[in-house]
């Protein structure tokens, strides 16, 4: 079912990218990217492997520097800001990695406490406990608080990874292949969670995925990256109605793999 989100505020851009270029030596990965993400909007980025989707969200998160172009995130130009300003901005961006990136030697509670204790030193023990409880409740895994990551399923680890980013109350969520390696039912649960996070916390998100079911379920807008540029933007139906041969071959490839 195509999603409907009534909460998008089209008067507020939380991410605005214009003519972004990024190369690694002679590998010209991003070649003139334009993208706007509005308050409360979920944008899905589709594209074949190696087209630069992860590079794009790493630039948004300040983990890579753009070569050229403007990248404005929550009102700040990430290319021009100082390191301390970038650190502050990064706290408002939740990055959900493909690998979930949990610390195996820490319990779920400790994994969730970690970003809070490092970044919000003024909090009392009681406030930290409450924040952990709230984040776990938001992802439906309150009962796992004393478990180890190794005791959790892939889907649960993914949820705990999302809870660990939610604990910092981010304005923007970046999901890198959130359903990769998960079975269809668990994937559907993660899609639902992405939408719940969007509605409950009014976050704006970029979701990188090869999973067209995820794209349809979570994306208010889809953007297709090809040869270093976005070649098509629109709703799932608009993108799939495209007669562009380059897009058609991409969809066919995805449907049969
Ligand atoms: N730090 C880096 N140094 C050099 N090259 C890099 C670096 N990061 C990415 N690249 C190159 O940039 C290109 C795009 O990589 P990226 O990881 O963004 O692709 P992707 O679209 O996310 O692929 P996938 O769907 O397989 O995850 C690749 O050719 C990759 O080798």
Residue nearest atom 30 in ligand 1 by C-alpha distance: 50
List pLDDT tens digits, range 106-129.
999 999 999 888 887 788 889 999
Range of 70's domain? Answer: 9-254
| 45 within domain boundaries | yes
Q: What is the CATH number of the domain that holds 120?
A: 3.40.50.300
The dihedral of CA 152, 154, 156, 157: what is its sign? positive
| Residue 218 Cβ contacting ligand 1 at under 6 Å | no
| 4 within domain boundaries | no
What local confidence, expressed as pLDDT, does residue 48 receive? 87
Neighbours of 11 (CB within 10 A): 7
Cα(109) to ligand 1 centroid in Å equals 33
% of the chain at pLDDT higher than 70: 93
CA 179-116-214 angle, 5° bins: 15
The dihedral of CA 187, 188, 194, 197: what is its sign? negative
Asked whether the beta carbons of 56 and 30 are under 8 A apart, the reply is yes
| Residue 51 Cβ contacting ligand 1 at under 6 Å | yes
Does 2 score more than 60 pLDDT? no
What local confidence, expressed as pLDDT, does residue 119 receive? 82
The tokens for 226 are: 């090809």
Residue nearest atom 24 in ligand 1 by C-alpha distance: 49
| 192 within domain boundaries | yes
pTM: 0.90
Cα Rg of the chain (Å, integer): 18
Residue nearest atom 8 in ligand 1 by C-alpha distance: 55
Burial level of 92, CB count in 10 A (0-12/13-18/19+)?
Answer: middle
The tokens for 9 are: 């505020």
| Residue 144 Cβ contacting ligand 1 at under 6 Å | no
Number of domains within the chain: 1
Q: Give the mean pLDDT of 3-21.
A: 88
List pLDDT tens digits, range 181-198.
889 998 999 999 999 999
Ligand 1 atom closest to 48 (CA)? 25
| 83 within domain boundaries | yes
| 75 within domain boundaries | yes
As for the ipTM of the complex, it is 0.96
| 49 within domain boundaries | yes
| 163 within domain boundaries | yes
């Amino acid at each position: 079912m195509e999603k409907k989100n009534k909460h998008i505020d089209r008067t507020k851009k939380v991410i605005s990218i214009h003519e972004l270029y990024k190369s690694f030596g002679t590998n010209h990965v991003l070649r003139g990217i334009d993208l706007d993400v509005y308050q409360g909007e979920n944008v899905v980025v589709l594209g074949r492997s190696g087209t630069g989707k992860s590079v794009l969200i790493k630039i948004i998160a300040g983990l890579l520097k753009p070569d050229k172009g403007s990248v404005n995130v929550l009102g700040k130009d990430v290319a021009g800001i100082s390191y301390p300003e970038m650190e502050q901005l990064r706290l408002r961006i939740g990055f959900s990695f493909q690998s979930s990136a949990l610390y195996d030697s820490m319990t779920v509670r400790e994994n969730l406490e970690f970003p809070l204790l490092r970044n919000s030193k003024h909090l009392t023990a009681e406030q930290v406990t409450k924040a952990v409880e709230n984040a776990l409740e938001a992802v439906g895994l309150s009962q796992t608080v004393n478990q180890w990551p190794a005791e959790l399923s892939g889907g649960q680890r993914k949820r705990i990874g999302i809870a660990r980013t939610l604990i910092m109350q981010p304005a923007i969520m970046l999901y890198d292949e959130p359903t990769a390696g998960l079975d269809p039912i668990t994937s559907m649960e993660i899609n639902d969670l992405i939408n719940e996070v969007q509605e409950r916390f009014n976050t704006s998100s970029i979701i990188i995925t090869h999973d067209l079911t995820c794209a349809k379920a979570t994306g208010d807008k889809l953007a297709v990256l090809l040869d270093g540029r976005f070649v098509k933007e629109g709703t799932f139906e608009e993108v799939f109605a495209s007669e562009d041969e380059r897009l058609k071959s991409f969809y066919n490839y995805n449907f049969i793999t």
